[in-house]
Structure 1
């Protein structure tokens, strides 16, 4: 099994794929990531995958169906778990400080991003242009993350570690800061000389300087 195949199996957790489907998805991820969705033809994907173009349409009715087959699992495994998995750690282990939660969350999602960079790049590039992707994003944010994040905010507000502002404002500040760092680090300026440990700490401190409550240092 190749490294690409391992990542596909991990990404499509629970979904049975044929060898040809795996080759098609791997080729589509590489092509969409390199050239963008619009500039990539199904014939190019088929050639790279070593299958007939008709094989693609037997598994996926349109090129957009193929795009959605790639992006939907990323929504489920990258966006939703961003909070859900680490929220359970917070509530189960009761991190004393919100900074500890933020660091665990950032490092957890950084690991996933590194392993699935081309797929996440497609997600970031294509969401503004496809209503279906926007709906997927809203679904996972709204149903899987937002309610849990409100509980998380209330948890730390009750401890006096986050100021009393609406949860949606906290949500926006945290996500824009963390995603902004990860996108800059791995997509926009990957060639820059990054000190990841220092940048992680700066990102967390930047968030906390805006959110810190009266007991945040206690």
Structure 2
């Protein structure tokens, strides 16, 4: 994945859709461009409608809310791009000579940087996952297949090297992601940033907390 934000990557993707009407296509393309230029929170549906040359009611009729408009664009992009994104992330953070602790630290740093670039999108997706059973049914199994299964392979690999305790890999994965996702949600959704903030220290605390629970004693 490049250093561009997800919205930047999605601008080109919206032009490839074949499942929208002309008006929906224009709305989607305009929304993504304005979200990327002005920020999601700073872009109103009335501004999108004006730029797209449609009535604001047309947006509400097709999408209901601005959040739904964003999700309607981002979900197809995630489904198409997630496999290659996951492959690139694991290439960036894993190498044969790394310990599991080093791999875990590199993964958390990598994903924290990514979420920081896409904080507004992350907030919307987290909020919708909490309240939308339909979104959970659509997105979570796909995420599990692409990302979590790969993590299970990594856990089994490091267990075979004697670095992780002999607990069921699924339980280790659940505990790890509870801590990691909880850290990201707390840091980017729930907690306002203090003036003097050092994420490196927090990352080390998260890594230490996880490793103290799953490191195999010599």
Instruction: Tell me the TM-score normalised to structure 2 length.
Output: 0.73
Query: Partner residue of 2:136?
Result: 134
- Correspondence for 2:164 among 162, 181, 205: 162
After the TM superposition, which of the residue ranges 201-210 and 6-15 deviates more from structure 2?
A: 6-15
Distance 1:212 1:147 in 2: 21
Runs of at least 5 residues in structure 2 that lack an aligned partner in the other structure = 17-24
After the TM superposition, which of the residue ranges 170-179 and 17-26 deviates more from structure 2?
A: 17-26
How many positions carry a matched residue from both structures?
202
Distance 1:96 1:7 in 2: 29
Q: Is the 8 A contact 1:162 1:211 kept in 2?
A: yes
Q: Is the 8 A contact 2:101 2:211 kept in 1?
A: yes
Q: Is the 8 A contact 1:27 1:45 kept in 2?
A: no
Q: 1:15 to 1:127 in 2, by over 3 A?
A: same
Q: 1:112 to 1:83 in 2, by over 3 A?
A: same
Q: Is the 8 A contact 1:78 1:112 kept in 2?
A: no
Distance 1:170 1:80 in 2: 23
RMSD in angstroms over aligned alpha carbons?
A: 3.8
SS of alignment partner, residue 160 of structure 1: coil
Query: Partner residue of 1:214?
Result: 217
Q: 1:185 to 1:144 in 2, by over 3 A?
A: same
Query: Partner residue of 1:24?
Result: 31
Runs of at least 5 residues in structure 1 that lack an aligned partner in the other structure = 36-43
Q: Is the 8 A contact 2:34 2:48 kept in 1?
A: yes
Distance 1:69 1:28 in 2: 14
Q: Is the 8 A contact 2:49 2:56 kept in 1?
A: no
Distance 1:211 1:6 in 2: 33
Query: Partner residue of 1:41?
Result: none
Query: Partner residue of 1:151?
Result: 153
Higher relative CO (Cα under 8 Å, sequence separation at least 6) belongs to: 1
Q: 1:14 to 1:122 in 2, by over 3 A?
A: same
Shift of 1:156: 0.4
Distance 2:15 2:124 in 1: 23
Instruction: Tell me the TM-score normalised to structure 1 length.
Output: 0.73
Question: For residues 2-81 of structure 1, what are the structure 2 equivalents within 5 Å?
Answer: 8-11=7-10, 14-16=13-15, 21-25=28-32, 45-47=45-47, 50-51=50-51, 52-54=53-55, 57=58, 61-63=62-64, 66-72=69-75, 75-76=78-79
Distance 1:29 1:186 in 2: 19
Query: Partner residue of 1:98?
Result: 100
Query: Partner residue of 1:204?
Result: 207
